[in-house]
Amino acid sequence: MNLIDRPRRNRKNPAIRSLVRETTLSVSNLIQPLFLWEKEWSEPIESMPGIMRLSPKDLLQECENLLRWGISAIALFPYIEPKYKDSRGSHGLNPDNILLTAIQAIKKAYPDLIVIADIALDPFTDHGHDGIMNAQGRILNDPTVEMLCKMAIVSAQAGADIVAPSDMMDGRVGAIREALDQAEFEEVSIMSYAAKYASAYYGPFRDAVGSKKDKKFPLDKKTYQMDPSNIREALREIFLDIQEGSDILIIKPAGAYLDVIRAVRDQVLLPLAAYQVSGEYAQICAAARLGWLDYEPIRDESLLAIRRAGADMILTYFAHEIAEANFKTL
């Protein structure tokens, strides 16, 4: 064959493939989500193999490990005991709650570790929704935003470097930015869940934070989280968050929404994060345990695809094991 162009020349050995590789995945791209509770022991989360609800002591040990392995940022998600929950999520403002005391302890012990505080009511409400609900079951936007602003301030006071509103209420980014600035927390960043879909992939997460309900009465968050059918709506939400002062944008979930990540990346300049959510993690773990998939290659390929789509950073439950493995090979 008289061929001038032979693309296989650039694939003939590992060295060449490395030189021409367009997308890379490194530990510096990864953020580790961590679950915590106030009990003195840690507990495995059955639906998320290898992931724990961490005790305060074990949480600090995990932070030390992550820093040593090269992870520079964590996102904290609390499991709140049912006795503290009410319809308004009031415990979210208690300075002694497990999230705020954990932030204080982490920043005291490891000031260089970036702490991202989840700003949402669902761990704190007895109904499991991300907002304040009226007697008719409607999620009230503006009263919820008022509560979120207060949560952002107490998180900043505890030492959070970044607050991450994950609720999808209208106008909350601008309100939180104004509240933080008025409280003299101008340096605290906002990482907004700008396009968070009403996804079926969140089940293990809701189990982990204790907001999962009976299967007969599943949580329906479709009035505030986005319709999985829509991409133009995602761009609308993205541009609103930019206008309101977001510093970093999150697309959630990641793997099933690579087209959304790419569409956003092509139109915005802000740093872009994607959240490889609990259901994505659980699927890979389950298939690998059954021998249907090769664990490490599929894990790494799933993350590389998210990077290739345009994400600058990835929140993933695989972060700690990838960082540990990388550290051990140095």
| Distance of alpha carbon 141 from alpha carbon 323, whole angstroms | 39
Q: pLDDT band at 211, cuts 50/70/90?
A: confident
Contact (Cβ atoms closer than 8 angstroms) between residue 70 and residue 50? no
Active site residue 215: no
Span 29-58, average pLDDT: 96
HSE of 26 in the Cβ direction (CA atoms, 13 Å)?
A: 6
- Per residue in 239-282, pLDDT tens? 999 999 999 999 999 999 999 999 999 999 999 999 999 999 99
pTM of the model: 0.94
Q: Which of 29-33, 100-104, 215-219 has the lowest mean pLDDT?
A: 215-219
- Per residue in 161-198, pLDDT tens? 999 999 999 999 999 999 999 999 999 999 999 999 99
Percent of the chain with pLDDT strictly greater than 90 = 89
| Distance of alpha carbon 33 from alpha carbon 14, whole angstroms | 33
**CATH fold label, 26-329:** TIM Barrel (3.20.20)
- Residue 217: the pLDDT is 53
Active site residue 83: no
Choosing from 85, 107, 221, 252, the catalytic residue is 252
Contact (Cβ atoms closer than 8 angstroms) between residue 245 and residue 239? no
Choosing from 107, 196, 212, 328, the catalytic residue is 196
- Per residue in 119-152, pLDDT tens? 999 999 998 899 999 988 899 999 999 999 999 9
Q: What is the CA radius of gyration of the chain?
A: 20
